[in-house]
Amino acid sequence: MATLFGSGIKRREDPRLITGSATYTDDVKLPGMVYAMFVRSPYAHARIKSIDVAAARKAPGVVAVYTGKDVKDRLVPVPCAWNPPGCDLKVPPHPQLAWDKVRYVGDAVAMVIAETRAQVRDAVDLVEVDYDSLPATVDPEKATQKGAAQLHDEIPNNIAFIWKVAGGDAEAAFRSADASVKERIVQQRLLPTAMEPRAAVASYNRGSGQLTLWCTSQNPHIHRFLCSVMLKLPEHRVRVIAPEVGGGFGSKIPAYPDEALVSLAAMDLGRPVKWTEDRSENYKVTIHGRDHIEYVEMCGTRDGKITGLRTRVYAGLGGYASTAGPGIPTILHGLIYSGAYTIPNILGVIHGVYTNGTPVDAYRGAGRPEAAFLVERLVDIFARKIGMDPVEVRRKNFIPRDKFPYTTVTGLTYDSGNYEGALDKALGMLDYKTFRADQVRARKQNKYLGVGVVSYVEICGLGPSAVAGAVGFGAGLYDSAIVRVYPTGVVKVYIGASPHGQGEETTFAQIVADEFGYPVENVEIIHGDTDNTPQGWGTYGSRSTAVCGSAVKVAAVKLKEKARKLAAHLLEANEADLEWKDGKFQVKGSPDKAKGFAELALMANVAWNMPAGMEPGMEASAFFDPTNFVYPFGTHVCTVDVDIDTGEVKILRYIAVDDCGPPINPMIVDGQIHGGVVQGLGEALQEIAVYDNEGQLLTGTMMDYAVPRASQMPFLELAHTVTPSPVNLGVKGCGEAGTIASAACVVNAVTDALSPLGINHIDKPLTPARVWAAIQKAKGAKP
Amino acid sequence: MKLSFSGAPEINAPLEAVWVRISDPHFVGRHGPGVESVEVIDETHFKVITGFGIGSIKLRFGIDVELTEVTPPTGMTLKARGKAPGSAVDVTAALSLEPLEGARTRLNWTAATEINGTVAGVGARLMEGTARKLTEQFWTRFADSITADAPANPPPPGVAGNPGT
């Protein structure tokens, strides 16, 4: 019987998504429901002098108005849940509604609730807020300097933490190196731009004391936990439901003020309260990504051996510490500085800095793209300095295939890898040598072609819970599944992960169907409701398949074992004489004496004839805690043509060779790579969230923030190598890989094209204006 | 976002006549873009309601104006703070009048504007152009209007049209 594992069947969630029959949070309509909207600060930094809500209270349809002073003693401030050890993290209180000071444009100062959406929209405009504006600081490096505006009185120089990663002796390595290079790299702020903005509907039953919160969540169990803390409610009185969720990219991990506020209002009013973000609001108040200023250095020998890497990073956190904010530029960034290489000496000093911007948290890749970007940029710049082909420098420093598991000087143990294999495959697809020859010919005709190569490795499958605890992450990182088989043999699987576009309703069903000898139609995957799914930690960090998928498998295997025992009992055979063949347990050599899984499920569910000591029913649960992270890797290669007169970058070819272990559903893996690469190309070429010096977000709409359009994207040539992880399913995760590789790949290609002009680096996004300016500067600097 | 503008239009009226007009909040208000009402609170405080659009957004601002320094008949400085839903505008401005030959007057003005909130985030690309246009319109209409009020000095062709930059 053919297995479903490895089969690119169509996504089972798509029919409802593409026919409009899915239910998103904003589709939830409850009797008596009222609507909330927030009054948000137009200032990036200001003292609140007074708030006059009298006119809003009297407006038609208004049922309640709340200010910060009304709620500050009733709610626990929005928690930060990641406190990396040894860095003296300072977390200021983050009130749900600002009451003394606002710290970014969009910081909420009041909530208005009215009978209809139109009425609440009118009423928020009637709230009069008097501010005393203060100087703002938006640049994470300048914010630490003397004279910069101070966001929080108790946090001098806006420095939330200084975190260090060190291995070997970087100072000594740089002192004794043949050659070294350095660069200043800005990894711009990005707006996650999930297709569905955030939303929340809260409903409170005064009789039972039960709060139900529908919200746009990547991790409903984390939201349940944090909402129970903020609302001071027992956790079992809080039910969080993430219905259909239209993308997250990390932005739907954190706890936000709004979810707690609509819950509080629902409890006060005894009526369901709904809030739905609009796009401009989404850009202002939903977390942003990246925002690093990095001083980076690499050193090595003249023949290409990298001996040291050093960084000093200023990571903007925004006005407050978001849920996972401090963990992103530290644990998920600095620990992977070794990349795919045996770098013996590493020192990173990361400053987490409060600025008058929207809080920064996980955005696709979360810390790892920033690390891959700086490492892969430095490899190219170093190669150029010593006059070596960047591909050869990579080869020379790769962790060799036979050295896995490999422990980096930063303390990570990579599970498995074959970096050279992926590199060879990608270069073969391009025909690297021929391209280099074409490049030389083209330059004679004043055409600037370039090739960028990136060999990335990432930390995925987050992760062992003991490690989560050790690195200060305030949650577990195991995951869970309940496999419930109905009397007719069909299956529902309740999972702790919370997919929102990744296709796990398909891939997880493939795992279970294979185990039971079923067509995939017999299995449904249920997720997103904390009242019926087991404790889990959500979907992010390319963890769902590696961790939750493993839990699904373990639970299914438990039932298969039960079914085997029951089959032996019913067939009056020895368990050892049974074999699993063609989807049935059969007595070896007697194919007519066989029981399929559905029949065994019926017998277990009716329990008429059970073996002694066997419980009735066909249901099992599993909690899977991985022993290690998984480390997917790959090589991306792209070629570009840079118009020397206009600065326009044209991508000629984009080749991605990724290794995420054995793919359960190759079509879904390719879809994840496609989306990831495109998101990275957006970052490389056109996306940037711009604050002016006063902290005004100038890219407040999709007219100003340049999300990639399909017509702008090149054809993506995908291929894979398969190096299984030694942990359970062997799979490694592929959700973030594309983004981690592609931004650096494009910048490497463009700087390669412009290397005759002596251009080593141009900061993303490589808009024509920026590339053109770099060309002019380089030409002007020439004698 | 911060924007600064300045200009020095010539007005075809004597300095004293210009001063009278410029000291009259109702007269000034009549020429402001989209001004709906001007309420005089006392000699140095006014409240202005005005509505205008930037790109796709239409805003209705309530603006508190305070004359911070008045030196008749040649100059004044003022502060204005405008609030609209989700947006705020702070302006500090200085005016000085300079007599010219032929009973004409030069009006030197500077204005520093800080724009906050939705109007900055949504209208950033259009802001400078729109703010410049509105400012220029204001001074053009203001200068034209004073000139029209002073028939003793009919404007030579083309003179009053210099609104500055």
Whether A354 and A138 have beta carbons less than 8 Å apart is answered as no
**Binary contact (B1, A133; C-beta < 8 A):** no
| Closest CA relative to residue A86, chosen from A407, A352, A363, A478 | A352
For A43, A65, A102, the CA distances from A68, given in Å and listed in that order, are 17, 10, 11
User: So what's the pLDDT on residue B126?
Assistant: 79
Question: Which of 3.30.465.10, 3.30.1330.120, 2.60.40.3500, 3.30.530.20 would CATH assign to domain B2-149?
Answer: 3.30.530.20
Q: Amino acid identity, residue A277? A: E
Whether A588 and A577 have beta carbons less than 8 Å apart is answered as yes
**Binary contact (A694, B122; C-beta < 8 A):** no
Residue % of chain A over a pLDDT of 90: 98
Q: What is the mean pLDDT of chain A?
A: 96
Mark out the alpha helices in A45-155 (DSSP H runs).
54-58, 68-71, 117-124
Question: Would an 8 Å CB–CB cutoff place A123 in contact with chain B?
Answer: no
A679 or B6: which carries more pLDDT confidence? Answer: A679
* Distance, CA of A66 to CA of A107 (rounded, Å): 14
Assess whether pLDDT exceeds 70 at residue A782: no
Provide the pLDDT confidence category of residue B147 given band limits of 50, 70 and 90: confident
User: So what's the pLDDT on residue B157?
Assistant: 44
Residues whose CB falls within 8 Å of the CB of residue A202, separated by 6 or more in sequence, listed in order: A211, A212, A213, A214, A259, A262, A263, A265, A266, A267, A272, A273
Q: What is the 3-state secondary structure (H, E, C) of A514-548?
A: HHHCCCHHHEEEECCECCCCCCCCCCCCCCHHHHH
**Binary contact (A692, B1; C-beta < 8 A):** yes
Question: Given B2, B83, B122, which is nearest A280 (Cβ)?
Answer: B122
| Closest CA relative to residue A281, chosen from B13, B79, B85 | B85
User: So what's the pLDDT on residue B160?
Assistant: 45
Helix (H, G, I), strand (E, B) or coil at A11: coil
**Binary contact (A700, B125; C-beta < 8 A):** no
Question: Given A41, A280, A694, which is nearest B1 (Cβ)?
Answer: A694
Q: Considering only CB atoms, which chain A residues are within 8 Å of B124? A: 692, 696, 698-700, 704
User: So what's the pLDDT on residue B150?
Assistant: 59
Could you read off the pLDDT of A233-264 as tens digits, one per residue? 999 999 999 999 999 999 999 999 999 999 99
Residues 79-118 of B with CB under 8 A from A: 83, 85-88, 90, 114-118
Assess whether pLDDT exceeds 50 at residue B158: no
Could you read off the pLDDT of B71-121 as tens digits, one per residue? 999 999 999 999 888 889 899 999 999 999 999 999 999 999 888 988 887
* Distance, CA of A667 to CA of A675 (rounded, Å): 12
Strands of A523-526's sheet, edge to edge?
A523-526, A491-495, A479-485, A619-624
Question: Would an 8 Å CB–CB cutoff place B72 in contact with chain A?
Answer: no
Provide the pLDDT confidence category of residue B144 given band limits of 50, 70 and 90: confident
* Distance, CA of A326 to CA of A83 (rounded, Å): 7
Averaged over A186-197, what is the pLDDT?
A: 97
CA distance B94 to chain A (A): 21
Could you read off the pLDDT of B28-71 as tens digits, one per residue? 888 888 899 999 999 899 999 998 777 777 888 899 999 999 99
Question: Would an 8 Å CB–CB cutoff place B58 in contact with chain A?
Answer: no
Q: Which domains does chain A have, with CATH numbers?
A: 14-134+195-247+252-285 (3.90.1170.50), 289-462+628-781 (3.30.365.10), 478-624 (3.30.365.10)
Assess whether pLDDT exceeds 70 at residue A783: no
CA distance B120 to chain A (A): 6
Could you read off the pLDDT of A627-637 as tens digits, one per residue? 999 999 999 99
DSSP-assigned letters across all residues of chain B:
-EEEEEE--EESS-HHHHHHHHT-HHHHHHHSTTEEEEEEEETTEEEEEEEEEETTEEEEEEEEEEEEEEETTTEEEEEEEEEETTEEEEEEEEEEEEEETTTEEEEEEEEEEEEEEHHHHHHHHHHHHHHHHHHHHHHHHHHHHHHHH-TTSPPPTTSTT----
User: So what's the pLDDT on residue A19?
Assistant: 96
**Binary contact (A105, B114; C-beta < 8 A):** no
User: So what's the pLDDT on residue A139?
Assistant: 98
Could you read off the pLDDT of A658-693 as tens digits, one per residue? 999 999 999 999 999 999 999 999 999 999 999 999
Provide the pLDDT confidence category of residue A232 given band limits of 50, 70 and 90: very high
Q: Where are the domains of chain B?
A: 2-149
User: So what's the pLDDT on residue B165?
Assistant: 41
* Distance, CA of A358 to CA of A360 (rounded, Å): 6
CA distance B26 to chain A (A): 25
* Distance, CA of A339 to CA of A398 (rounded, Å): 9
Helix (H, G, I), strand (E, B) or coil at A654: strand
Whether A225 and A258 have beta carbons less than 8 Å apart is answered as no
B130 or A543: which carries more pLDDT confidence? Answer: A543
Helix (H, G, I), strand (E, B) or coil at A653: strand
CA distance B80 to chain A (A): 13
Averaged over A296-300, what is the pLDDT?
A: 98
Question: Given A42, A133, A698, which is nearest B87 (Cβ)?
Answer: A42
Interface residue of A38, A138, A701, A702 to substitute, partner B, most B CBs within 10 Å: A701
The residue length of chain B stands at: 165
Could you read off the pLDDT of B132-141 as tens digits, one per residue? 888 888 888 8
* Distance, CA of A780 to CA of A769 (rounded, Å): 16
Provide the pLDDT confidence category of residue A586 given band limits of 50, 70 and 90: very high
**Binary contact (B86, A699; C-beta < 8 A):** no
Residues 39-68 of A with CB under 8 A from B: 40-44
Other C-beta atoms closer than 10 Å to the C-beta of A185 total: 20
**Binary contact (B88, A43; C-beta < 8 A):** yes
Question: Given B2, B83, B122, which is nearest A700 (Cβ)?
Answer: B122
Provide the pLDDT confidence category of residue B162 given band limits of 50, 70 and 90: very low
Interface residue of A284, A698, A699, A702 to substitute, partner B, most B CBs within 10 Å: A698
Residue % of chain A over a pLDDT of 70: 99
Could you read off the pLDDT of A45-56 as tens digits, one per residue? 999 999 999 999
Question: Would an 8 Å CB–CB cutoff place A704 in contact with chain B?
Answer: yes
**Binary contact (A41, B90; C-beta < 8 A):** no
Provide the pLDDT confidence category of residue A719 given band limits of 50, 70 and 90: very high
Helix (H, G, I), strand (E, B) or coil at A22: coil
Joined tokens for residue A633: 């890797």
Assess whether pLDDT exceeds 80 at residue B163: no
**Chain A residue closest to B84 (CA)?**
A125
Question: Would an 8 Å CB–CB cutoff place B51 in contact with chain A?
Answer: no
Answer positive or negative: Cα dihedral of A518, A522, A527, A533.
negative
Question: Given B88, B115, B121, which is nearest A697 (Cβ)?
Answer: B121
Q: Considering only CB atoms, which chain A residues are within 8 Å of B87? A: 42
Count how many pairs of residues, chain A against chain B, have C-beta atoms within 8 Å: 65
**Chain B residue closest to A690 (CA)?**
B121
Question: Given A40, A133, A698, which is nearest B124 (Cβ)?
Answer: A698
| Closest CA relative to residue A280, chosen from B122, B23, B108 | B122
**Chain A residue closest to B62 (CA)?**
A128
* Distance, CA of A135 to CA of A139 (rounded, Å): 13
**Binary contact (B124, A696; C-beta < 8 A):** yes
User: So what's the pLDDT on residue B51?
Assistant: 87
CA distance B70 to chain A (A): 24
User: So what's the pLDDT on residue A169?
Assistant: 98
Could you read off the pLDDT of A469-502 as tens digits, one per residue? 999 999 999 999 999 999 999 999 999 999 999 9
* Distance, CA of A367 to CA of A333 (rounded, Å): 4
Assess whether pLDDT exceeds 80 at residue A287: yes
Q: Is the pTM of this model over 0.90?
A: yes
Could you read off the pLDDT of A301-339 as tens digits, one per residue? 999 999 999 999 999 999 999 999 999 999 999 999 999
**Binary contact (B125, A128; C-beta < 8 A):** no
Joined tokens for residue A331: 């644990």
- Measure CA of the first residue to CA of the last residue in chain B; give whole Å: 19
DSSP-assigned letters across all residues of A255-314:
--HHHHHHHHHHHHHTS-EEEE--HHHHHHHS-BEEEEEEEEEEEE-TTS-EEEEEEEEE
Assess whether pLDDT exceeds 60 at residue A197: yes
Could you read off the pLDDT of A339-357 as tens digits, one per residue? 999 999 999 999 999 999 9
Provide the pLDDT confidence category of residue B164 given band limits of 50, 70 and 90: very low
**Chain B residue closest to A121 (CA)?**
B85
Residues whose CB falls within 8 Å of the CB of residue A355, separated by 6 or more in sequence, listed in order: A137, A138, A139, A140, A143, A151, A158, A291, A316, A317, A318, A319
